[in-house]
Amino acid sequence: MPLFLFKCSKCGNADEKFFHSAENADKANILCSCCDGSCSRQLSSFKSKLQLDAKELYEQKIKPEVDEICKRIANGSDRDFLDIYGEE
């Protein structure tokens, strides 16, 4: 049975519900478990391990190195600039 995500238009709470088919999920009148407001079906999204690994790599390694290079260039060091763009 597929799992479908429904979001309340009143309070924003999200609930997951099981249905046998997408057609049944689209026809369902789901009420919010918090405020009894009307819920609408949301498109599901997922993140693959590759996306998470890339985000981790960026946040832990690439971004700190780039920030440090930018800081040194802003403070007048041209060594990093020349390493990137070369001498002309």
Q: Are residues 7 and 35 in the same domain?
A: yes
What is the count of structural domains for the chain? 2
The DSSP secondary structure of 51-82, one letter per residue, reads HHHHHHHIIIIIHHHHHHHHHHHHTT--HHHH
Q: Are residues 7 and 31 in the same domain?
A: yes
pTM over 0.75: no
Q: Are residues 56 and 78 in the same domain?
A: yes
- Residue 56 domain boundaries: 49-85
Q: Are residues 54 and 80 in the same domain?
A: yes
The predicted-structure confidence for 21-68, as pLDDT tens digits, reads as follows 878 878 888 888 889 899 998 876 655 566 667 777 788 888 888 888
Q: Are residues 54 and 70 in the same domain?
A: yes
Pick the closest to residue 4 from 21, 36, 12 (CA basis). Answer: 21
